[in-house]
Every structure is written in C-alpha cells, then in structure tokens.
Structure 1
Amino acid sequence: MGGPHDEDRVVLIHQYRHPVGRRLWEIPAGLLDEPGEDPVDAARRELAEETGLGARRWSVLVDVVLSPGFTDESVRVFLAEDLYEVDRPAPEDEEADLEIERIPLDEVVSMVLNGTIVNATAVAGLMALAAARSRMGGVGELRDVTAPWVDRPDRFSERKRSRTGGDEAARA
C-alpha cells in the first residue's frame, strides 16, 4: 500500500532486498496487521513509519493479484496526496536502512521503462498513476478508498492468528 504523490513528485523508498541481493526502488508498503484491518488505515500507518509523511487525500490507484497461479497474494495500491510531515517512529529492521526520495513522475515512468524500478507493486501503482494523470488531465476517475476489494487476501492473517492464538499480529 502506498504511492504518495505531491506536486508531480512521487515519494519512493530505496531499500535492500535480500532475496534479490540488491537495493530496489519501491513505494511505501506493508502488510495488513490484523484480520479485518482497514486497508487505508494500514496504508496511513506504513506511510508514516517508512517516510514520516501523512496525506490529506487518499484514493485507490489499482488492485493487483501478484501471481494467481501460485498464491492468493493481492495488493491494493493507494494514491496519497496533499502530503504533510508527521512524527516518524524510530525506524526498526528494514526501515532503518531506507533512503527516501521525491522524484518527478516523468522520471519515475522512465525508471520503470528502463528497468530501474522492477518491484511489481511499484510498477503497477506508478504506471496506473501515470495513466490516470495523462488520460484524465488529473485524477477524477480513481476509486474511493471504500471501494470493494474483491481479491483482498485474508489467508495469511488468518493463519498467523490461528498459530498464535490471536495474540500476535502479522509483521507490517
């Protein structure tokens, strides 16, 4: 969840990802901590934790089923606009090594097309933003944050809850 955008600049994070052995450009994102958690609340939390930013306006950019032949994992990418600074919790684990950049949308699209940005969620969200901006001359047709999320994944949080007796939440 993520995709903060302000004044034609997109907030991206650059962080090391062990499975691929290098740093990747990504949008702020995380997991739903609790079964039934409001996805936009999770997006707000992750945006603050990873970037120290809040947003006054939120909408749905795109829903993506990442690998339907293998997993039920699905993500909802939000557009966060009218950004402002908030207190950022002390970074832990992966968040302690994040680099945060505000990059012009045109440059971000070039980064996707030239292979610099390869994270699937980031690619989908950023290209959806670029398409929405160019097609509509502004964002007018994006979905409200309350729009149905047909493929919302629930199995991971349910498995986590059943293993821990409901005492622990999934890692954000």
Structure 2
Amino acid sequence: MAIKDTAEEWEVRATDTPFVGKKTSVRTDDVVMPGGSVARRDYQVHPGSVAVLALDDEDRAVVIRQYRHPVRHRLWEIPAGLLDVPGENPLHAAQRELYEEAYVKAGDWRVLTDVYTTPGGCDEAVRIFLARDLSEAGGVRFEVEDEESDMELDRVPVDELVRGVLAGELHNNCLVVGVLALIAARNGDGLDALRPAEAPWPARPFEA
C-alpha cells in the first residue's frame, strides 16, 4: 500500500459557527462516526498560509524574531503570512511576504513541502517554499504595525538552525519543518528535484 494521505469526508449531520474573528472562525460539526454514532467536533477554520525558507549564497536562512502572544514566547521564524484572498496563488503570496517581512526578493522558487499544522483542531494548510538567488528588494518598505513593529531580522546558518531545532531551542512549526525538509531534500534527490513553485496544492486550490 502506498504511504500517501488521501482526501475523505465523513457525513456531517449539523454544523454551526459560534465564533467569527477577523481572520479565522470556529466551527462545530456533528460528524457521523463508523458504526453510526454522532460526535461533535470543534475546530478553527483558517484561510491557509505560506512560509518561505529563503537561503542566501552563504547558506544562511532569512529569519525573523517575533512575539507570539498565545504561547507567550518570542520565536525565531521564517517569513510567513496568510492567504488573504480566496484562491490566491500561493507563490504570489510568498513573494509578497518575503518582501514585506525581509525586504528581499528571490530569483529561484521551489515548493519545499506542504503541511497541515494542527489537523486535530484546525484546518490550516501551509505551503513552505524554498527561495534562493536572493537580492535586496526595491521600492517602498512595508509599513509595520502591532507585533511586527518589534520584529527582529537576521540571517542564520542552516547548520545552526538544525542544531537549535534538535536541541529543543527553536519551536516555530514552519521553521522546524522547513529546515528539516531542506536537509532531507539535500540528502535525497537534491534541491533542484523539488516540485516547481506553481505545483498544484489540493488543500488550497488556486489559479496559476
């Protein structure tokens, strides 16, 4: 049997949305279980996200350090952001986030990996890109606000990030998955064998 996730949808007898926030909402579904019983499942409805592992010529990753209130931590992360427009091309969103958060553009883009961040309680899907051939972006810098106004920007060697991940010192989901996927790709068929930047993404379909 192929080890591959498959799409499937169980019957929903009733659904409700008890909370609607600025970017996400909470949904309650009554789902028919195997055997016929019905169980209530509460989960966060999320528009989806993109993240970018951007590597420079010295094998350093562009990282940001930002306060995250739900976990009461200031975390090292890779540039990332929401898919603000339904059906938005994730590559375009990733290019926008890299520009806005790091003031950087990239000449080479690949899909590094796709993940569901917390499938037991949230439907968020994230596409993590690998960006190379970096250069400084032109134009006006993005005006930051709220947590982003206190955000730090740096470039850290990939080996140092791997060490921090395995030591339990770095915790951001996209950074951890992105860095380890990078190492796996290098040890496998190589970075040039990664999927193209416009590869289909069934979790968040888009128009090229």
**Under a length normalisation based on structure 2, what TM-score does the superposition of the two structures give?**
0.69
- Does residue 148 in structure 1 map to residue 200 in structure 2? yes
Q: Mapping of 1:6-155 within 5 angstroms?
A: 6-7=56-57, 8-86=59-137, 87=139, 88-136=141-189, 138-152=190-204
Residues in 2 aligned to 1:49 and 1:24: alpha-carbon distance in whole angstroms: 18
- What are the superposed Cα offsets for residues 44-71 of structure 1, whole Å, 9 maximum, x if unpaired? 1111111111111111000001122222
Kindly provide the amino acid, as one letter, of the partner of residue 122 in structure 1: L
Whether contact under 8 Å (1:74, 1:153) holds in the other structure is no
Larger % of helix: which?
Answer: 1
Cα RMSD of the aligned pairs, angstroms, is 1.6
**Matched residue SS, 1:103:** strand
**Matched residue SS, 2:149:** helix
How far is 1:153 from its partner?
Answer: 7.9
Kindly provide the amino acid, as one letter, of the partner of residue 63 in structure 2: L
Which structure has more RCO (C-alpha within 8 Å, separation ≥ 6)? 1
Runs of at least 5 residues in structure 1 that lack an aligned partner in the other structure: 155-172
Aligned length: 153
**Matched residue SS, 2:193:** coil
**Matched residue SS, 2:163:** helix
Residues in 1 aligned to 2:106 and 2:147: alpha-carbon distance in whole angstroms: 23
How far is 1:130 from its partner?
Answer: 1.6
Larger % of strand: which?
Answer: 2
Q: Structure 2 vs 1, CA of residues 117 and 74 (structure 1 numbering), >3 Å: closer, same or farther?
A: same
- What are the superposed Cα offsets for residues 72-125 of structure 1, whole Å, 9 maximum, x if unpaired? 111000011111111421222222111111111111100111112111121111
**Under a length normalisation based on structure 1, what TM-score does the superposition of the two structures give?**
0.83
Runs of at least 5 residues in structure 2 that lack an aligned partner in the other structure: 1-50
